[in-house]
Structure 1
Amino acid sequence: MTDIKSPKKLIEVALPLDDINAAAAREKSIRHGHPSTLHLWWARRPLAAARAVLFAQLVNDPGYQRELGYGVNKQEAERKREKLFDIIRDFVKWENTNNEEVLSRAREAIWESWRETCHLNRNHPQAAELFDPEKLPAFHDPFAGGGAIPLEAQRLGLESHASDLNPVAVMINKAMIEIPPKFAGQPPVGPLPEQDTTGKDTLRPGSGLTEYWSGARGLAEDVRRYGHWMHEEAFKRIGHLYPKVKINPEIIAERPDLEMYANEELTVIAWLWVKTVNSPSPAFEDVRVPLASTYLLSKKKGDDHYVEVEADGRDWRFVVRRGEAPDSAKKGNKLSRGANFSCVVSGAPIGHKYVKEQGKLGRIGSKLMGIVLQGKRERVYISPSVEHEEIAKSAVPDWEPNLPISGSTQYLGVKPYGIEKFSELFTKRQLVALNEFFQLIGEVEGKIEEDFRDVNGDEDEAPLSMGGRGSIAYAQAVCSYLVFALGKVENIGSTVASWMNDRGAFRETFARQAIQMTWDYAEANPFASAGGSFLTAIDKGAKSIAHLPANQLGSAVQFDATLQDISKNKVVSTDPPYYDNVPYADLSDFFYVWMRRGLRKMWPDIFSTIAVPKSEELVAFSHRHESRDVAESFFMKGMKEAMKKISWEMHPAFPITIYYAFKQVNESEVGAGNTGWETFLAAVIESGLEIHGTWPMRTEGSGRLRGLNSNALASSIVLVCRKRMPVAETTSRRNFQRQLREEMPEALEAMIGGQSGQAPIAPVDLAQAAIGPGMAIYSKYEAVLNQDGSLMSVHDALVLINRAITEFLTPDSGNFDADTQFCASWFDQYAWSSGPFGEADTLARAKGTSVDGVKEAGVVESGAGKVRLLKWSGYESDWDPAADKRTPVWEACHQMIRRLQNHGESAAGELLAKMPEKGEAIRQLAYHLYTLCERKKWADEARAYNELIGSWHAIVAASHETGHAGEQVGFDL
């Protein structure tokens, strides 16, 4: 394979990172039609990021033609690169997700690059197998998870293959890339519901418009139609368990504000419950008392509702009040963090040990605290009803999911309170409802088969799992999506789901990537027209299905990534497990135990096990192994094997892209990193892959900097790797350091200066982005040897790479004036606080300046034996660099921050236009100071420097509009 001509791909050179990150962050708030509304997965990559990474991985960077001597000049290459950037900028926008005009431009660029690559390799011995200009290579993701990457590969025109060990993930991928293409263009076969409750949100414009049923729209509409039938049938059978509330005189007497609803029957949206235990006070030990973390039901301004506890001796009851709540209501009867409460009848403390003990004895009960009704465009909150409580507790399920909850209490916080089986996460009424809906899955399957045969005839009797496309397969396809809708009902319909009093909506079971104990929970009405209802789940799922591309064949299979051979000659992009972040196998059992009940006969191979496989899951969890060291060894070995498989099998003309997301960041001499990150990098490199680049992908809002002990803005790193040459040499530590000194400055300048329309890497992301060029040097060798002959570890390599970054950015590097060097060193020691004059005098002399000099520059104040740096807020508001006789870069940088914060980007641009020659130095100083503040955990200061760099491109654009002499380095505007 060494003679294959493989042009550099765009992702190995440049990306419009800011545009990708902005679109990825925006996508987090998208729900209408997004695949995340089909079925929950805990770490699905944003579609925008996945699409952009894949495209940049597939298209040739225009600069490769210059490298091959094709006569293309630098300006022409940059112009072509900018055209590719424009394609990315267009298609990462959510509204263009299915814009065929935009997507066709992307697909044409992919085809053009592929044909160029085929032409370059037309004489290769394996050209017929590897370089067919009439057929794009297929795609594979061996850790497919939530399926965003395989889905976007399919959307970009590739045949897409997904594999995962987790059966829930496999089903999600089948639902997104395998099933829709099988029935693309199929009009719906189900009868229109007699009473269509989805109204204007219906998918169809009318029956009979067959041209409308392109893609997966017909399939989506049948999911909606048969879901409606299931809803009606279920209500006939168990609707009595979900009664309405008549607003009678008794309720109005307590709540005169509800007079407008007199004698009306209102539908219940949610029953709000609180867990209870027997009072720990000996005098009241037979009285059950609540464990409420809040008594607030609604915090909406003008619609405040709260619960008041009326206690009389041994008796107490909940009463819902409207109006501003007293402060005591905010925390319920909770005393402190954890399971610590006060008894509402005795006042005695209820400690966490007592609560856990009661839980393990099976003595934690529940009490209705309030009821939420659907009013006239409002939520109506009323006091609990004895009748409603009795009806709820009268339910008797005929089956319960008694699968044990396995795993660490770190993620399964219900276990210390005696909740050991999944059945114990649901009320009896919730279990009855789910059982009824799953019973109806079997009934509706036969109905769909019959309707399909009536419309289409039937020659194909193969099931869906065997590749069928006839009535049986179609019925199983629709039922698979109906089971997915029930997964959404489960996620909101458990005793871990709660009520968001700021929104008047449900907080789902997996609001976090864990099953945590909830003291007050909300029981949804599956027959209401609100979140948590079955029809709402159906509607959201149908919209998601209708948005799926369904344009290329796809497949999803259950496979261990260390054993798979699916990647052979395929393009690979993947999002593997992250060391010890989240035990998805343990969490997935919550859905699997129900999904298996509904789909085992349709997908026997996928649901052959009682629970989700766990022992093979590639995560470093000590609770599954003898110790943490054994767990880490298991992860390292498995990840190395998986990556080795990929490096052997993947198509040699393309790099592989690998996502890595951080659980946390520990600041140290290796910069932003952690044990999992280093272990992961080591596994990648030892597998035979060479790292060519790292791209920070931000999925948080750009205006928000999290605490500096967290991962700040960069939530994912995308590694770009190629297979290392089989004849790779070893090198010495000294030679590695020499290459870092020679090559890192140019790479860092390209990152902080921006290139070809690419905005500069934000300071918060620089440490991770710079790993790319540093690790490119380290990983191209078979080994880097220390002086004693031992192998240099990834950790040590990261230390040296981080030092190279620090050396490049430090003001002592020779790129800054003496005043700035003094200020930077003084800031490192004292920030904005005062320090002794003698120490400042000594430092100033060492830097080649004086305290009087920097005072004259207007950046320090000196007196009474003390010296203090002035913060930017104390600088002159009408400062003009042209009139300033002594303007260190330090002053210029902080005047830019003051102008940006007080007046915005345009005003900052006007200021920069007056001193364009200082632009590069200002930018470099901001990077240095951000790095310093991050290390010292000075969050506010770090934010200011990060915002300056984040706005730099716009500032420079504004400075050009103002007009000035000179150019800003790194920007060609």
Structure 2
Amino acid sequence: MSVTPRKKLIEVSIPLEAINKASAREKSIRHGHPSTLHLWWARRPLAACRAVLFAQLVDDPSSWPDRFPTEAEQDAERERLHKVIADMVPWEASNDERILNNARWEIARSVAWGLGEEPPPRGDAKAILGFLQTKAPPVYDPFSGGGSIPLEAQRLGLRAYGSDLNPVAVLIGKALVEVPPKFAGLPPVNPKAQAESKHGGRWNGKGAQGLAEDVRFYGQWMRDEAEKRIGHLYPAAKLPEGTEATVIAWLWARTVRSPDPAAKGAMVPLVSSFMLSTKEGKKTWIVPVIDASAPDGWKFEVHRGKLAKEEEARLKNGTKTGRGSNFTCVLTGSAISPDYVKAEGIAGRMGARLMAIVAEGDRSRTYLSPTADHEAIAAEANPPWVPDGELPDDPRNFWTVQYGLSTFASLFTPRQLLALTTFSDLVAEARERALADARAARMDADPTPVHQGGHGATAYADAVATYLAFAIARSADRGSTVCSWDSSPKMEALRNTFARQAIPMNWDYAEGSPFSSSSGNFLFNVEWTASALSRVPAVGVGGIGNISAPANSFPIKPIVVSTDPPYYDNIGYADLSDYFYVWHRRTLAKVWPELFRRLATPKTEELVATPYRHGGKNEAEAFFMDGMGQALTAMRNAATDSEPLTIYYAFKQAEAAQDGITSAGWSSFLQAVVDSGLVVDGTWPMRTEMSNRMIGSGTNALASSIVLVCRKRHSDAGIITRADFIRLLKRELPEAIDDIRKAGVGPVDMQQSVIGPGMGVFSRHARVLEDDDSAMSVKTALAIINRVWGEIENEADAALDAETQVALAWFASYGFDAKPSGELITLANAKNVPQAALFASGVFTDLRGRAQLTPREHLPSDWTPAGDKSLTVWECVQHAARTLRAEDGGEEAAARLITEMPPQIAADARALAYRLFRVATDKGWSAEALVYNELAAEWPQLSELAGKLADAAPRGPAQAALL
């Protein structure tokens, strides 16, 4: 007989709003964030990973009825645990040992109670860590990618493991969770630090801060040494007053031979923008000047001053004429077509011309016209090595190939290649220096290298080399011809290569100087790397392996599985990461020989539905489904029985907007989950994007990812029919929907959240049989869940007051538009409510022969629920929404209205806000939908505030007598 596992917090309730808020804010955190250690695509926010892991391991209070016997006590304990999570998820809490130890103790308490033991003392950090490292189950992420999940498991004091097929991802994971604990607490070994210690200086660093200081020291040495070797190729700029200034960047324009015979074969520029700075009062731009004495009959000049809006708009378009690669010849004005540009590029006839020089000025950028000597010096660079490899013929993600830039080497200028190879060579020299200094500092003489698990001086030097190689990877991201110049007022800096999950084609590009003190320089890249390293947890043990998820036999088990698998066809990690792999292979092949034994990252096994690699869309989907099914089955077999599995699913916004819950990727993924023997126990929508994000600003964008909470399906699971499935949904969904609302899920995410309990009904059975005895597919189940949800909402509508029912029916048909009164009479008769009552209540406005729902802006501002003799749920919603958004209103004013609403009407009003959101969304009324989404999402905070206001309000004798 199987024992029912204890229910975990994540299976009941989590403080979703606090998690989402911290996750979205984290996207704006840069300096010191682990994501700045090395670029990886579509990382999950640390806040979300930390919260999910915590809730996955901590018991829900309902699991301990002897300790929390009443529902009220369970709710209170649940709220306390929510507060622990809310305190833990902000970025500022990442290295707050008091907050982290409190969270670790909560995990230890659940583990201890499950073992029949007492937890370690709450204030004993060392004892808590020791307990978790020996008695808590280890966490494993078989798609570890950028390492967020293992990193946060380690931060919570747990044993943290992961694996990935991609060697670049494995290297990132090792650098985050495997290497730092080996050298935690050690002082730096560099001569400067050692000299300071001999003169009485005491090292007070913690974690990997000593290692980070050495990365800074040897990075500085590399920078200085590189300047000795190639600094002559980065000349200073001569300012108008005759002084010299360090160059920040050289701005180049690609050129092609003009197709117009009148240009006499001249090479002409392809420029996407002539603007250098759009800052008010300092606007600067480039002008192409026709000059017969200049090469090809034209030259660039830098101008500054005032600009009319129309002229600035024209300059922002450069020589482009529309989207794509449509350009105009600067000499003749004739059109240059995309096909012509592509043909010239593929034939190798695309060139480049210096447009401008950006120099370091007095607290601002100085823009200078190009000079022949700067252009000539750049041409002198002769790199001794170039990266091998062809770019994939994938026009969706690699746009340069169709223009002839089809190799990794073609993405860089010769000077950029020379700089990167010089720094790459210097890593080996820096490693030797670090090794000698570590030995001189009397570090453990163990000769075992880091890739074999060493902890001594040799492994330490390997670690220093690894992080210095990361600085080179950052330099490659900021040092290619895909980098453009950001002329916006707040930036005026180099953009990086991977501004998106693709390599786009840039026509005018910025070539930075590694020796400046501004954007793109090598020391900045070293500092970003060291700063991120200094903030990693560096506690306990961790390990990241180079293993394919479908074939994973899991070297550690049983395990708590939390993973963020690749989404269907969204990102081609292997192709993209080759950009960094070619440099890491050159720099670190001897340090991490197993990771860099191949010429490129493995492709055929990568679990992404890439049509061009598998011979078509259907073949790619079949490959993905088969591989994901194998991976999920392996996870199920290795997972503990006591903890649920958590799996992140990343929604593409296009997919979410067009197909919603029945999209091909989503239903295919869920089908693989169900087929692997897992039960979907819950779905939590994670909103990890900032509100000012282009796609979400002013819209009801769906959550960017969903966390699926899964359990193992019982081996004796039964078979039910379609009719049984629908009957169970109607019985179980109403309570589940109410719980989801209580958890703080807003209307925009309800459709995704209802999937959880709905799929729970579907997936806990071995099969759901259709009328012809065939097995029901997940896609069909999703459609049924959505339909039953709609039916439940319709039934709930019938319980509302008659005025609100009429208002809802009118809104679903006409919104707030005015229509002939006969339409209202028909609806009123159907609901058996007099038309006069609809006008008297204030829900509708009589327009003498026409009628309409009273617009919010026409509602009386002094309305209160207590003063309304014919109170309706509709009025409560509209007045609360009006007050929340009013200039003289806000949260407190809206909360005061809620304090006066009878409890059942308040509950109905909140439910109606969800209902109105769905109606408005179905109608395409995005602005109106936004109103209800905001109100419903804010309702828990408004209710909490209402409670505080009620407690603080003075009570009269009659009120006091009731207490």
Interval containing the TM-score (normalised by the shorter chain)? over 0.9
Aligned match of 1:940 = 927
Q: Following the alignment from structure 1 to structure 2, what is the Cα–Cα distance between the partners of residues 846 and 569?
A: 61
Deviation at 1:431, TM superposition (A): 0.4
Letter in 1 for 2:707: V
CA contact (8 A) 1:275 1:367 kept: yes
CA contact (8 A) 1:144 1:164 kept: yes
Q: Following the alignment from structure 1 to structure 2, what is the Cα–Cα distance between the partners of residues 293 and 61?
A: 57
CA contact (8 A) 1:414 1:517 kept: yes
What SS does the corresponding residue of 2:780 show, helix, strand or coil?
Answer: helix
Q: Following the alignment from structure 1 to structure 2, what is the Cα–Cα distance between the partners of residues 705 and 919?
A: 35
Aligned match of 2:109 = 112
Aligned match of 1:167 = 167
Superposed CA offset, 1:9-37 (max 9, x none) = 11111101111111111111111211111
* Structure 1 range deviating more: 575-584 or 272-281: 272-281
Q: Following the alignment from structure 2 to structure 1, what is the Cα–Cα distance between the partners of residues 846 and 531?
A: 66
Aligned match of 2:447 = 461
CA contact (8 A) 2:133 2:159 kept: no
Identify the match of residue 83 of structure 1 among 46, 60, 80. 80
Identify the match of residue 695 of structure 1 among 684, 689, 707. 684
Aligned match of 2:152 = 152
CA contact (8 A) 2:767 2:776 kept: yes
Aligned match of 2:937 = 950
Aligned match of 1:127 = none
Superposed CA offset, 1:157-209 (max 9, x none) = 11211100001000000100111111112221122399x9xxxxxxx999864
Q: Following the alignment from structure 1 to structure 2, what is the Cα–Cα distance between the partners of residues 887 and 705?
A: 41
Identify the match of residue 582 of structure 1 among 538, 559, 571. 571
What SS does the corresponding residue of 1:456 show, helix, strand or coil?
Answer: coil
CA contact (8 A) 2:439 2:445 kept: no
Deviation at 1:861, TM superposition (A): 4.0
Unaligned runs of 5+ in 2: 119-130, 954-963
Q: Following the alignment from structure 1 to structure 2, what is the Cα–Cα distance between the partners of residues 167 and 547?
A: 23
Deviation at 1:504, TM superposition (A): 1.1
Identify the match of residue 906 of structure 2 among 919, 922, 936. 919
Aligned match of 1:226 = 218
Aligned match of 2:335 = 349
Aligned match of 1:676 = 665
Identify the match of residue 560 of structure 1 among 536, 544, 548. 548
Structure 1 residues 449 and 120, CA gap change in structure 2 (3 angstroms): closer
Q: Following the alignment from structure 1 to structure 2, what is the Cα–Cα distance between the partners of residues 35 and 305?
A: 36
Question: Is 1:290 the counterpart of 2:269 in the alignment?
Answer: yes
Identity score, percent = 47
Aligned match of 2:206 = 214
Q: Following the alignment from structure 1 to structure 2, what is the Cα–Cα distance between the partners of residues 132 and 95?
A: 23
Q: Following the alignment from structure 2 to structure 1, what is the Cα–Cα distance between the partners of residues 306 and 205?
A: 51
Aligned match of 1:275 = 254
Aligned match of 1:625 = 614
Deviation at 1:636, TM superposition (A): 0.6
Deviation at 1:787, TM superposition (A): 1.5
Identify the match of residue 99 of structure 1 among 96, 105, 129. 96
Q: Following the alignment from structure 1 to structure 2, what is the Cα–Cα distance between the partners of residues 683 and 271?
A: 51
Q: Following the alignment from structure 1 to structure 2, what is the Cα–Cα distance between the partners of residues 217 and 133?
A: 23
What SS does the corresponding residue of 2:498 show, helix, strand or coil?
Answer: coil
Unaligned runs of 5+ in 1: 122-130, 197-203, 252-261, 966-973
Identify the match of residue 755 of structure 2 among 748, 751, 771. 771
Deviation at 1:746, TM superposition (A): 0.6
Aligned match of 1:803 = 787
CA contact (8 A) 2:700 2:926 kept: no
What SS does the corresponding residue of 2:709 show, helix, strand or coil?
Answer: strand
Structure 1 residues 407 and 853, CA gap change in structure 2 (3 angstroms): farther
Aligned match of 1:816 = 800
Q: Following the alignment from structure 1 to structure 2, what is the Cα–Cα distance between the partners of residues 702 and 469?
A: 45
Structure 1 residues 739 and 169, CA gap change in structure 2 (3 angstroms): same
CA contact (8 A) 1:666 1:672 kept: no
Q: Following the alignment from structure 2 to structure 1, what is the Cα–Cα distance between the partners of residues 504 and 836?
A: 60
Structure 1 residues 192 and 120, CA gap change in structure 2 (3 angstroms): closer
Deviation at 1:860, TM superposition (A): 3.5
Question: Is 1:929 the counterpart of 2:916 in the alignment?
Answer: yes
Superposed CA offset, 1:499-524 (max 9, x none) = 11111122111110110111121111
Question: Is 1:873 the counterpart of 2:861 in the alignment?
Answer: no
* Structure 1 range deviating more: 856-865 or 110-119: 856-865
Q: Following the alignment from structure 2 to structure 1, what is the Cα–Cα distance between the partners of residues 222 and 304?
A: 37
Identify the match of residue 525 of structure 1 among 509, 513, 517. 513
CA contact (8 A) 2:328 2:335 kept: yes
Q: Following the alignment from structure 1 to structure 2, what is the Cα–Cα distance between the partners of residues 337 and 428?
A: 29
After superposition, residues 469-484 of structure 1 pair within 5 angstroms as: 469-484=455-470
CA contact (8 A) 1:569 1:651 kept: yes
Superposed CA offset, 1:285-308 (max 9, x none) = 421211111111112223221122
Superposed CA offset, 1:266-287 (max 9, x none) = 1111111121111121111421
Superposed CA offset, 1:564-586 (max 9, x none) = 12252111100001111111111
Identify the match of residue 360 of structure 1 among 346, 370, 376. 346
Structure 1 residues 884 and 561, CA gap change in structure 2 (3 angstroms): same
Aligned match of 1:188 = 188
Aligned match of 1:735 = 724
Identify the match of residue 472 of structure 2 among 451, 471, 486. 486
Q: Following the alignment from structure 2 to structure 1, what is the Cα–Cα distance between the partners of residues 694 and 726?
A: 33
Q: Following the alignment from structure 1 to structure 2, what is the Cα–Cα distance between the partners of residues 174 and 784?
A: 44
* Structure 1 range deviating more: 779-788 or 913-922: 913-922
Letter in 2 for 1:152: E
Aligned match of 2:411 = 425
Alpha-carbon RMSD across the aligned residues, in angstroms, is: 2.5
Superposed CA offset, 1:555-609 (max 9, x none) = 1111010111225211110000111111111100100011111111111111111
Aligned match of 2:8 = 9
CA contact (8 A) 1:139 1:153 kept: yes
Aligned match of 2:956 = none
Letter in 2 for 1:235: E
Deviation at 1:934, TM superposition (A): 2.1
Question: Is 1:595 the counterpart of 2:584 in the alignment?
Answer: yes
Aligned match of 1:409 = 395
Deviation at 1:793, TM superposition (A): 1.1
Superposed CA offset, 1:229-287 (max 9, x none) = 1001000000011111121xxx3xxxxxxxxxx33321111111121111121111421
What SS does the corresponding residue of 2:24 show, helix, strand or coil?
Answer: helix
Question: Is 1:320 the counterpart of 2:337 in the alignment?
Answer: no
* Structure 1 range deviating more: 555-564 or 372-381: 372-381
What SS does the corresponding residue of 2:192 show, helix, strand or coil?
Answer: coil
Question: Is 1:240 the counterpart of 2:232 in the alignment?
Answer: yes
What SS does the corresponding residue of 1:63 show, helix, strand or coil?
Answer: helix
Aligned match of 1:895 = 879
Q: Following the alignment from structure 2 to structure 1, what is the Cα–Cα distance between the partners of residues 765 and 42?
A: 33
* Structure 1 range deviating more: 312-321 or 154-163: 312-321
CA contact (8 A) 1:811 1:824 kept: no
Q: Following the alignment from structure 1 to structure 2, what is the Cα–Cα distance between the partners of residues 907 and 849?
A: 32
Structure 1 residues 810 and 438, CA gap change in structure 2 (3 angstroms): same
Structure 1 residues 542 and 350, CA gap change in structure 2 (3 angstroms): same
Q: Following the alignment from structure 1 to structure 2, what is the Cα–Cα distance between the partners of residues 880 and 819?
A: 18
What SS does the corresponding residue of 2:649 show, helix, strand or coil?
Answer: strand
What SS does the corresponding residue of 1:149 show, helix, strand or coil?
Answer: helix
What SS does the corresponding residue of 1:158 show, helix, strand or coil?
Answer: coil
Aligned match of 2:430 = 444
Deviation at 1:879, TM superposition (A): 2.9
Letter in 2 for 1:215: G
Letter in 1 for 2:704: S
Q: Following the alignment from structure 1 to structure 2, what is the Cα–Cα distance between the partners of residues 217 and 767?
A: 45
What SS does the corresponding residue of 1:445 show, helix, strand or coil?
Answer: helix
Question: Is 1:723 the counterpart of 2:681 in the alignment?
Answer: no
Structure 1 residues 174 and 949, CA gap change in structure 2 (3 angstroms): same
CA contact (8 A) 1:811 1:925 kept: no
Deviation at 1:750, TM superposition (A): 1.6
Deviation at 1:851, TM superposition (A): 4.6
Deviation at 1:430, TM superposition (A): 0.2
Q: TM-score, normalised by structure 2?
A: 0.92
Q: Following the alignment from structure 2 to structure 1, what is the Cα–Cα distance between the partners of residues 206 and 640?
A: 33
Q: TM-score, normalised by structure 1?
A: 0.91
Structure 1 residues 469 and 914, CA gap change in structure 2 (3 angstroms): closer
Q: Following the alignment from structure 1 to structure 2, what is the Cα–Cα distance between the partners of residues 227 and 764?
A: 48
